[in-house]
């Protein structure tokens, strides 16, 4: 019987790619989200969709894990955009704490792959690569909630022997990017403008250089992390990125070029702080989080045999193609 991969947050941007990658690797996939199907878990389907409230008590989560009996649990649940601070602490941090405890209590061995974020590091030093040994000093609520989740998962691994690993993921791109993200917003506006007409894009200043990685490469890393020897990955943080800082302005301009349409691009300072900045954090402080960031990916190569395979042009072109699909086709893919 095929091993089961339980993907939490499985209908989100990253979750969809994770489900596809584990299915392609021969796993039976249980896709769990707040919008999945309800009911008990059938045993004869390659992919099962379940609806669960991820803010539910720990005993409900433990019951789900016991029923699914997964070989690997991947946590892609959480919030980035359009969420207040309390919701971020609830879904990004406290949920990961409950999940790690529930996984450690299972009567059979299970691999837990927690998706972390490069925002946990905070500002990078211009011209350098950030390794997993770097001191974390996140500059946003999102970064702090993800760092707290990472620390909780690693503590559980150390205290219980749970085979847990954290993949600290750079800015992910590719088909299905949410509209709250910069490149997702640009792609949607380019697709929404009537054919032949000039698209209007007004964005915050595009000064940052960041590390980007395609979501399908992230999913491939998760599959490798699920199969790696437990003693090599237990309690480790592993950077998943391209290992190069890219100009955000150049990426936006490339996306516009790939769309092959006239565009008027205006860069303006935002008038209000982003919704995920806590009280006292202005937009400049949040941008400083990632004005420069380039991750060292040598550990991923060494421990997982992983390296990025999808070039950024392909990632951006596939993002545009997915946005242009009719809604019913997007739902089927």
User: What are the catalytic residues?
Assistant: 142
124, 48, 108, 41: which is closest to 72 by C-alpha? Answer: 108
Q: CB 132: neighbour CB atoms within 10 A?
A: 18
Residue 259 and residue 323 in contact, taking contact as beta carbons nearer than 8 Å: no
Question: Residues 6 or more apart from 53 whose CB is under 8 A from it?
Answer: 34, 60
247, 252, 328, 325: which is closest to 291 by C-alpha? Answer: 247
d(CA 33, CA 83): 17
Paired strand residues for 200: 264
d(CA 126, CA 163): 35
């Amino acid at each position: 019987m095929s091993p089961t991969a339980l993907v939490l947050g499985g209908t989100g941007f990253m979750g969809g790619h994770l489900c596809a990658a584990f299915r392609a690797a021969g796993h039976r996939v249980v896709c769990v989200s707040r919008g999945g199907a309800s009911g008990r878990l059938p045993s004869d389907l390659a992919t099962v969709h379940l609806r669960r409230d991820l803010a539910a008590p720990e005993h409900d989560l433990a019951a789900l894990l016991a029923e699914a009996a997964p070989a690997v649990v991947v946590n892609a649940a959480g919030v980035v955009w359009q969420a207040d601070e309390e919701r971020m602490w609830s879904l990004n941090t406290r949920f990961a704490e409950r999940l790690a405890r529930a996984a450690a209590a299972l009567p059979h061995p299970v691999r837990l792959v927690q998706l972390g974020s490069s925002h946990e590091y905070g500002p990078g030093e211009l011209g350098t690569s950030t390794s997993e040994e770097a001191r974390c000093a996140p500059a946003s609520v999102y970064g702090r909630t993800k760092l707290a989740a990472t620390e909780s998962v690693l503590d559980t691994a150390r205290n219980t022997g749970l085979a847990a690993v954290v993949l600290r993921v750079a800015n992910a791109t590719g088909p299905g990017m949410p509209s709250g993200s910069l490149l997702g917003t640009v792609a949607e506006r380019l697709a929404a403008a009537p054919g032949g007409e000039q698209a209007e894009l007004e964005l915050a200043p595009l000064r940052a250089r960041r590390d980007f990685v395609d979501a399908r490469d992230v999913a491939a890393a998760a599959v490798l992390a699920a199969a790696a020897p437990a003693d090599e990955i237990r309690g480790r943080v592993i950077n998943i990125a391209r290992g190069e800082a890219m100009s955000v302005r150049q990426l936006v301009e490339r996306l516009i070029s790939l769309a092959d349409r006239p565009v008027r691009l205006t860069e303006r300072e935002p008038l209000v702080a982003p919704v995920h900045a806590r009280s006292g954090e202005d937009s400049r402080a949040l941008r400083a989080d990632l004005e420069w960031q380039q991750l060292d990916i040598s550990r991923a190569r060494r421990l997982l045999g992983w390296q990025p395979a999808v070039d950024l042009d392909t990632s951006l072109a596939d993002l545009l193609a997915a946005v242009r699909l009719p809604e019913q086709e997007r739902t089927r893919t």
